[in-house]
Homo-oligomer: A and B are copies of this chain.
Amino acid sequence: MDTERQAPTRRQLLHAVGLIGGSAAIYNMMTVLGHAEETRFDGPPNLSGARKGATVIVLGAGLAGMLAAHELEKAGYSVRILEYQNRAGGRNWSLYGGDKYTELGGATQNVSFAPGNYLNPGPWRIPHHHRTLLHYCKAFGVALEPFIQFNHNAYVHNADAFGGAPQRFKSLAADFEGNIAELVGKSIDQKGLDTQLSAEDLDLLKEALRGWGMLDENMRYTKGLRSSSHRGYALPPGGGVNGAPQPSDLFPFDEVLKSRVWANMAFFMNDEFQTTMFQPVGGMGMIGKAFAKQVGHMVTFNAKVSKIFQDKKGVAVTYTDTATGATTTAKADYCVCTIPLAVLSQIETNLSDAKQAAIQAVPYSNSVKIGLEMRRRFWEEDYAIYGGHSFTSQEIGLISYPNNNFFQDGPAVLLGAFASGMGGYRLAGMTPQERIEAALEQGSVFHPDSYRKEFVSGASVAWNRVPWTLGCCARWNEETRKEHYQTLVAVEDRIVLAGEHASYVGCWMEGALLSSIDAITRLHKRALEA
């Protein structure tokens, strides 16, 4: 990773190289230097020189809190963690058969998935450039397997397109690209193209349009084996006497536009969703469990924090044991608070008005996930869909196919909803049973023959009903960033906040970890100055 740590120097160097050798030299130099920045992770923090006996209270045993505790203890601090729940991991969490979950409002679900099956209510996929998380997964022995994010063969459904019938992503994407390529080609021929390209480059552009958009020799996107090799065949190539393939009909371009497939195409090109992605073998919660193995000895569970006060001498945290009802005040020299803002905003503190305003300022997203256990993998067996998502304009947002145990017989859990926005609120307003029914009803659009027939049982988590977060994750916008972000993340005397909400990688575990490293690095520096 060394070549990726030298951003400022590198930039200066590239500037100098550019002055001497022009753009080609810059590109060459970029290659030598290790290309674009991929990560902010520089390795575990260096916290050397900690004062012996200095104490830290960490609030919250999610990933940010556990990483802080782990690294601070390694550095020599005496650390304890207070955790509201009776388990560590926070939003890093998997629900298995036998688990019981009670949401705000009192509804309790008893999960009855078969052994090995799970729902990841929170995070469920790891980008390859989330190097902090990948580093600690390796360090803590978490086995990872590919998460199939992008699947050409899954469906896109939009109620306003194709009379409400879903279509394979590959066919829609191929037709979108083919039509776009044809349009550009026509513009070139009509000299209607406003471009700086030379005549030679225009020829190259035409070649590109033909090759990318599968245009025919007349620069038209037409029905034939060429377009079918991208969008799928009416009859695919086979063997022997009747092996010849037959081309498929193209979709009308206006229907392709109405399907809004371009949004899915852009989604797959998003930095956070580019291949290769990963998931832990056995459920996302394996990460929380692996972290907990490192810091378990420091955690006090069932500790509901009600008050965080600091003065010149230290920090006092008052908490109630939710099992016994006993209230205690714990003291330490410093505090790393990773409590989600939606909860922290309800806890009494003597933080500055500006800090409290920042804590109040950031809204939390809602989101609902529903796991549906099916008797068999009909999406694999009958539809040749292995992992990935089928998207819909309905409230469930998408259904996502499991990436573990491909080809296995027996029951498997697919994600029956990943709803946010209005759809999320609507589903959150339902009882768990009603949510399952909605998921079955809406998801049936993709697999009408099998969806209800193969259904066994379901489980759901509506994040604005999760007692210990009261929402899914922090949703900053440009204005709140400008006004509150630096205030939120600044060390205030003896207290620092950490978590995905204190990062620009919001809603991702990586954000929680990067924030945690940054927070404890600054807190440590403060401690050394004290």
Contact = CB atoms under 8 A, between A and B. Distances in A.
A197 interface: yes
Interface in A467-497: 481, 485-486, 489-490
A69 interface: no
Interface string A481-520: 1000110011000000010001111000001111111110
Contact of A238 (B137, B145, B505): B505
Contacts of A239: 40, 498, 502-505, 511-519
Interface in A208-243: 208-209, 211-212, 214, 228-230, 232-243
Interface stretch (A264-272, A304-312, A417-425): A264-272
A271 B490 CA distance: 52
Given A146-B146, A212-B266, A230-B270, A252 B23 contact: yes
Interface string A151-192: 111000000001111111011011011001101101100101
A277 to B, nearest CB: 9
Q: How many chain copies?
A: 2
A59 to B, nearest CB: 17
A165 B30 contact: yes
Given A208-B257, A234-B36, A243-B515, A153 B274 contact: yes
Interface of A: 1, 3-4, 7, 11, 23-25, 27-28, 30-32, 34-40, 128-129, 131, 134, 137-138, 144-146, 148, 150-153, 162-168, 170-171, 173-174, 176-177, 180-181, 183-184, 186-187, 190, 192-198, 201, 204-205, 208-209, 211-212, 214, 228-230, 232-245, 248, 252-254, 257-258, 260, 262-263, 265-266, 269-271, 274-276, 278, 381-388, 403, 406-407, 445, 448-449, 481, 485-486, 489-490, 498, 502-505, 511-519, 522
